[in-house]
């Protein structure tokens, strides 16, 4: 049976290198590059795979010389990501914010002014006692 691009098969990890893993599929060996192991960044491939592991791989390509490129991450269905629109922000904190935009804005401005005043007081207290000399 010839390997076809796009087919998903089960294979066995036969060797692991720093740049990827060699997987035997249908009696032939192909390479799963380290970037095709997981959806997340893979620093050490040995944290994800061991020799003799059974893995599901997708055939990415087979070139004229017989080199087979495989992918583990493309063989697994993508995880459902949570988009910001899917999150109920009011339920997140357990309370509903019924204040109008103007009320929330004025509260924010008041708190910001208070923090700025505190910073100025702190800065003034640090500068007290130090006089600049204009002799230089």
Q: Where are the domains of the chain?
A: 8-71, 98-127
pLDDT averaged over every residue in the chain: 84
4 has pLDDT over 80: yes
The 10s digit of each residue's pLDDT in 55-114 is 999 999 988 888 999 999 998 876 666 666 666 666 655 555 677 888 889 999 999 999
Class of domain 8-71: mainly beta
In this predicted structure, what is the pLDDT of residue 89?
Answer: 62
Please state the rounded mean pLDDT for residues 43-52: 92
| CA-based end-to-end distance of the chain | 87
Round to whole Å and give the CA distance between 122 and 114.
12
In this predicted structure, what is the pLDDT of residue 56?
Answer: 93
Band (pLDDT 50/70/90 cuts) for residue 26 is: confident
Q: What is the dihedral of CA 32, 37, 43, 48, to 10 degrees?
A: -110
Q: The whole model's pTM is what?
A: 0.56
DSSP for 35-76 reads GGS-SS--S-GGGT--TT-EEEEEEEEE-TT--EEEESTTTS
């Amino acid at each position: 049976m010839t390997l076809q691009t796009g087919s998903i098969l089960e294979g066995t990890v036969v060797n692991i290198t720093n740049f990827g893993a060699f997987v035997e599929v249908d009696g032939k060996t192909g390479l799963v590059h380290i970037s095709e192991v997981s959806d997340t960044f893979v620093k050490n491939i040995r944290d994800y795979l061991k020799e003799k592991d059974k893995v599901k791989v997708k055939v990415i390509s087979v070139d004229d010389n017989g080199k087979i490129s495989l992918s583990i991450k493309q063989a697994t269905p993508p995880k459902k990501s949570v988009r910001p629109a899917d999150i109920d922000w009011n339920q997140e904190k357990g309370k509903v914010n019924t204040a109008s935009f103007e009320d929330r804005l004025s509260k924010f401005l008041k708190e910001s002014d208070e923090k700025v005043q505190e910073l100025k007081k702190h800065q003034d207290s640090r500068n007290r006692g130090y006089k600049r000399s204009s002799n230089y």
